[in-house]
Chain A
């Protein structure tokens, strides 16, 4: 029935939406295409932990009925979307890729899930992640790693690696991830898709299994800037169930998508270059900056000296908050339980068994950083670094409209390369983590591939609630990059 060029699973959300409304396809067809694609790629990618075929089918059928009846819920109506498995879905297993939550079925939906349902989205399933979102490669999943569709011997990035791989390969038309130090943007960059971390407080965290409360944000991964903007609009907004949720006026992320960058001042963060940055990444960066200049933007060098210690602050704040957030996993009310003669024993044995090494490492680190005698030198001092960093960013935005950098210093690295070297793994987040510390939005745009056909991402950063100008610049970057490469994944029937 489809007269569309290419495969259904290759469509952007915008194109799929148009096709639904013109009658060229149906939600059920879209879902079938996406599930079929999953069927053919999962053996190699392991992007998913759970495929909710039954629930998705029901939602697709309902969407078709509603659309036919003229009841249009908006751009995500009938669109197959995947969810990172750290977002609670009522009645569907949610594990955070941890053994400690094996078989856990939440009795409630995360707010973003409620909003996606209300928007008529078809929730395909739950994607793989680094356990409790702690990691940059999706190799820390207790259920096995995910792989990069561009080269299955390499990682898709992390922690939202499953979502990134699914969108890249077409086993979902869009996905949600979560970003605490770069966990949406970095995998988006490594997997050649768009990944957005919105302003802190604009997307509800209610129902997101917490990693670091003051850093976590949920955001979309998609194949186009327009898709990201539409998905953002469907999920963001004040939530009375989240006390950190922004209750003021939200900008319109789509307003300036076609405006171009004439007259805008674009700041290049000078600290995000040099040693450790792959030549292909830096070359592509320079090329895009040239193009932006050609499009009428003023390119300015901006120095943010405090970003040199931002990662250090991140590796104190994030584990500290995580050590407290993960204390609730104790074998008493849900999840894994190992027996013990006393509750202390039960809890300690359950947690030692249920948490993987990276999670254990961070809990120990965080507990230490908060403990008596060390609080001020570590956690307390890290909070001061955050304040200083925020002052620096805000001062920069007096001089420029947006800041830019590579999303990651490297392209996708081989699986297993950094697993035994936590510090080198952490360094892949060097360009992304500052935004989590200050709460500002950032988006990764795929801009090209290196000579091994591995994707390169370009990051656009904006001040708090600056999504409008951020999307404006990102849209122009997308236009200039003309990124049309597709992962050459040989389909293998799974």
Chain B
């Protein structure tokens, strides 16, 4: 069981720009919830985990057929910033 939660790292992973104060608050709340959640460790036995779907589906596909795409104007109307049909964002800091 982890003792220290690196809350700043978690917030960075989740892209949440929180203040020091907020982070401290969340950190202690998380700690309390995780203590409760850690009860999962008490499970006896080692059941076989299939994917969680209760009806145990497999093989759900669609045929390789095209469907109409959205009208671009309707799409871009929701965008905070666009130019010449593109969505606009600032430059990325990291290269993936």
> Which A residues lie at the B interface, using CB under 8 A?
104-105, 107-108, 199-201, 214, 240, 243-248, 306, 308-309, 311-313, 315-316, 323, 327, 330-335, 337, 339-349, 351-352, 355, 360-361, 363-365, 367-369, 371, 373-374, 377-378, 381-388, 390-391, 422-423, 426, 438-440, 464-465
A245 to B55, CA, bound (A): 10
Q: Which residues of B contact A244 (CB under 8 A)?
A: 53, 57, 60
Across chains A and B, the number of contacting residue pairs, with CB separation under 8 Å, is 184
Do A374 and B14 contact each other (CB < 8 Å), given the known contacts A246-B57, A333-B87, A361-B30?
A: no
Q: Which residues of A contact B32 (CB under 8 A)?
A: 422-423
Q: Is A312's CB under 8 angstroms from B40's CB?
A: yes
Nearest 7 A-B pairs (CB), nearest first? A439-B54, A348-B17, A337-B80, A387-B47, A312-B39, A334-B78, A342-B93
Give min CB distance, A294 to chain B, whole Å: 33
A363 to B29, CA, bound (A): 13
Q: Is B94's CB under 8 angstroms from A344's CB?
A: yes
A332 to B78, CA, bound (A): 10
A377 to B38, CA, bound (A): 8
Q: Is B60's CB under 8 angstroms from A342's CB?
A: no
Q: Which residues of A contact B83 (CB under 8 A)?
A: none
CB-based nearest B residue for A316: B37
A355 to B48, CA, bound (A): 36
Q: Which residues of B contact A243 (CB under 8 A)?
A: 60-61
Do A214 and B33 contact each other (CB < 8 Å), given the known contacts A312-B38, A364-B26?
A: no
Q: Is B11's CB under 8 angstroms from A364's CB?
A: yes
Q: Is B40's CB under 8 angstroms from A343's CB?
A: no
A313 to B81, CA, bound (A): 40
A426 to B36, CA, bound (A): 11
Do A200 and B29 contact each other (CB < 8 Å), given the known contacts A352-B18, A368-B5?
A: no
The contact of A343 among B17, B29, B62, B91, by CB within 8 Å, is B91
1/0 per position for B24-56, CB-CB distance to A under 8 A? 001001101110111111110111111011110
Q: Is B2's CB under 8 angstroms from A342's CB?
A: no
A315 to B61, CA, bound (A): 31
B70 within 8 A of A: yes
Q: Which residues of B contact A387 (CB under 8 A)?
A: 47-50, 52
Do A312 and B36 contact each other (CB < 8 Å), given the known contacts A332-B89, A365-B30, A367-B13?
A: yes
New A-B pairs, 12, CB < 8 Å, besides A383-B49, A464-B54:
A107-B75, A244-B57, A247-B60, A248-B55, A312-B40, A313-B37, A316-B37, A335-B80, A342-B92, A384-B40, A384-B43, A465-B55
Q: Is A351's CB under 8 angstroms from B92's CB?
A: no
